[in-house]
Amino acid sequence: MFIENETYKCDCIDLDSEGNGVCKIDDFIFFVKGPLKGERVSIKVDKVNKNFGLATLKDIYLKSPYRVKPECPYYEQCGGCNLMHFNYYMHSNYKKYVVKDLLNRIGKVDTLVNDTIFMSDPLHYRNNVQVSFSNDNGVIKAGFYAKKTHNVIDMDTCIIAPQIANRIVVFLKRLFTVNKISIYNPKTKKGCIKHVIIRANKKSDVMLCFVTNTKELEKRELLVSEIVKKFPKVVSILHNINIGVTPIHLGNKTNLLYGTNYLTSTIFNTKFEIGLSSFYQVNTTQMEKLYSKVFEYLNLNKDMTLIDAYCGIGTMGLIASKHCKEVYGIEVVDEAIYNANRNKVLNNINNATFILGKAEDEIERLVNNKKIDALIVDPPRKGCEESFLKAIVGIEKIVYVSCNPSTLARDLKFLKEYYDIVEVTPVDMFPFSNHVETVCLLLRKTYQL
Ligand SMILES: C[S@@+](CC[C@H](N)C(=O)[O-])C[C@H]1O[C@@H](n2cnc3c(N)ncnc32)[C@H](O)[C@@H]1O
């Protein structure tokens, strides 16, 4: 019925959870990057499947009042953000709707979904960036990859990156050019610099890591001294070796070139050391709002024992430890557990224990040996293993923090047999993208208020 490469006029009737326009022709649906709900557009058909098609936006005949000119000049090419053409004030509604819809459709959960906690000033919200480099006929480029490619979009500034990271990247491009530092070429698999990771705290202290395809970082001493001279706020310089084509961003070996092998961040009057491979929420302002919601839902007291599952460097558990009897954190990355133990000492906390291992392997022993009153669950995007969920169903109160509402919905479908899903609060941790963080309060069906 529809012919590939032909152009059709249609209406965009919705935005899906990936931020794509849902365009309808008769009763057939096409997913299209770019259109907003309510727009009349023309689309070129790329692929027709049995139940839906994929298409490319060609023209907009009737524009949504919520369409805005993206502030970023690289937005159309760059694969970093995907909703900058949509008025930011409407993102809260959209994200709330996405969470509600996925909970309903996947989890069959119908609960109170609060308004999204959004940012009043969403620019430069990220506290870390990974910038890729390429050498294009002698011109060194630095930026993010173009959509669905490994071609680097050369950019002088990124409006979601920390300001200091933008200045460092411009400086590095010049430094690499002047000193003829070789850049990794994925085709020949030769060259040194693959990418640079820059992490900044609220005071703009910086951790910088060169990720190379070679064992040695070319002109290492010169690079370090020039960076430190120009940017005294750089407190940590690392070199990670990641040879060859690998799907992972970091190799196993990291050398310390300057300063400390961690960056320090203070939130809720608690000091945290963060190592290179340890997880830290990317948006510090929103992280504080997210954690406040978690603590509100936990409503801890000094008699309570808490598990912080998937604890990272121990952030939530250590802040919570000041308000409860005991905390147990579980985390699979050893550097994160090393940081968590250091952070415990740094803050004179002595009622927290951190366990290195997979949450699904460690949880059963913990719940069998201790009376646990509350649990924080904050898994990666894939959500929890069913064995983990089965092990926790005796716990009275669960606060589930999720960066993926689809896997949250799947896990809630299992947990709702045992728990009242009291309420859910979306948090806009990733402005200008379709991604949304969600906090959910669950109380055991036998819970006595
Ligand atoms: C979304 S992060 C949350 C970290 C922490 N709660 C925070 O707010 O900073 C998920 C964490 O789970 C860890 N992780 C991934 N799979 C795991 C598993 N099977 N068991 C335990 N931890 C895991 C990751 O290393 C990461 O630190």
Residue pair 101/111 in contact (Cβ under 8 Å)? The answer is no
Q: pLDDT-based confidence at 248, cuts 50/70/90? A: confident
Q: 10 Å Cβ neighbour count for 425? A: 23
Query: Residue 437 is which amino acid?
Result: E
Nearest alpha carbon to residue 380 among 358, 395, 397: 358
Residue 403 falls in the annotated catalytic set: yes
- The burial of 5, by beta-carbon neighbours within 10 Å (0-12 exposed, 13-18 middle, 19 or more buried), is given as exposed
Q: Is the pLDDT of residue 417 over 70?
A: yes
Burial 101-136 (b: 16+ CB within 10 A, else e): bbbeebbebebebeebbbbeebebbbbbbebbbbbe
Q: 10 Å Cβ neighbour count for 150? A: 11
pLDDT of the residue at 17: 96
Q: Is the pLDDT of residue 448 over 70?
A: no
Q: Is the pLDDT of residue 447 over 80?
A: no
Average pLDDT over residues 93-99: 97
Query: Residue 136 is which amino acid?
Result: D
How many helical (H) and strand (E) elements, i.e. helices and strands, does the chain have?
Answer: 9, 21
Q: Is the pLDDT of residue 147 over 80?
A: no
The whole-chain average pLDDT of the chain stands at 96
Average pLDDT over residues 129-148: 90
Residue pair 405/17 in contact (Cβ under 8 Å)? The answer is yes
Nearest alpha carbon to residue 161 among 94, 224, 86, 72: 72
CA distance 291 to 288: 5
Q: Is the pLDDT of residue 148 over 80?
A: no
φ and ψ of 324, to 5 deg: -140, 180
DSSP β-ladder status, 28-33 and 21-25: antiparallel
Give yes or no on whether 91-120+283-444 and 128-266 have one common fold: no
Helix (H) or strand (E) holding 412: helix 405-415
Residue pair 398/415 in contact (Cβ under 8 Å)? The answer is yes
Domain segments of the chain as ranges: 7-62, 91-120+283-444, 128-266
> Pocket around ligand 1: residues whose beta carbon is below 6 Å from it?
279-281, 310-312, 315-316, 330-333, 336, 358-360, 378-380, 403
Average pLDDT over residues 364-387: 97
Query: How far away, in angstroms, is 278 Cα from ligand 1 center?
Result: 9
Q: Is the pLDDT of residue 145 over 90?
A: no
- Residue of 276, 331, 335, 407 to mutate, ligand 1, most atoms within 8 A of C-beta: 331
Q: pLDDT-based confidence at 174, cuts 50/70/90? A: very high
Atom of ligand 1 nearest to the CA of 358: 20
pLDDT of the residue at 84: 97
Query: How far away, in angstroms, is 63 Cα from ligand 1 center?
Result: 41
Residue pair 333/359 in contact (Cβ under 8 Å)? The answer is no
Half-sphere exposure of 90 (CA within 13 A, CB side): 14
CA distance 222 to 124: 29
H helical segments located in 15-139: 91-107
Query: How far away, in angstroms, is 163 Cα from ligand 1 center?
Result: 27
Nearest alpha carbon to residue 320 among 380, 393, 268: 268
The topology (CATH level 3) of 91-120+283-444 is Rossmann fold (3.40.50)
pLDDT of the residue at 449: 61
Bridge partners of 32? 21, 55
Minimal-distance CA residue to ligand 1 atom 7:
312
CA distance 140 to 253: 26
Does CATH place domain 128-266 in 2.40.50.1070?
A: yes
- Residue of 284, 308, 310 to mutate, ligand 1, most atoms within 8 A of C-beta: 310
Minimal-distance CA residue to ligand 1 atom 4:
312
pLDDT of the residue at 36: 98
Average pLDDT over residues 179-191: 93
Q: Is the pLDDT of residue 435 over 90?
A: yes
Nearest alpha carbon to residue 333 among 376, 280, 278, 382: 278
Q: pLDDT-based confidence at 312, cuts 50/70/90? A: very high
Minimal-distance CA residue to ligand 1 atom 20:
358
CA distance 425 to 444: 19
Q: Is the pLDDT of residue 235 over 70?
A: yes
Instruction: Please tell me which residue, 76 or 99, carries the higher pLDDT value.
Output: 99
Burial 318-342 (b: 16+ CB within 10 A, else e): bbbbbebeebbbbbbbebbbbbbbb
Q: Is the pLDDT of residue 149 over 90?
A: no
Minimal-distance CA residue to ligand 1 atom 12:
310
pLDDT of the residue at 244: 83
Active-site residue identified among 311, 384, 403, 440: 403
- Residue of 319, 332, 401 to mutate, ligand 1, most atoms within 8 A of C-beta: 332
Bridge partners of 59? 42
Q: pLDDT-based confidence at 79, cuts 50/70/90? A: confident
Quickly tell me which residue has 């995007």 as its tokens: 381
Is the Cα dihedral 337, 342, 346, 350 positive or negative? positive
CATH number of 7-62: 2.40.50.140
Average pLDDT over residues 120-146: 93
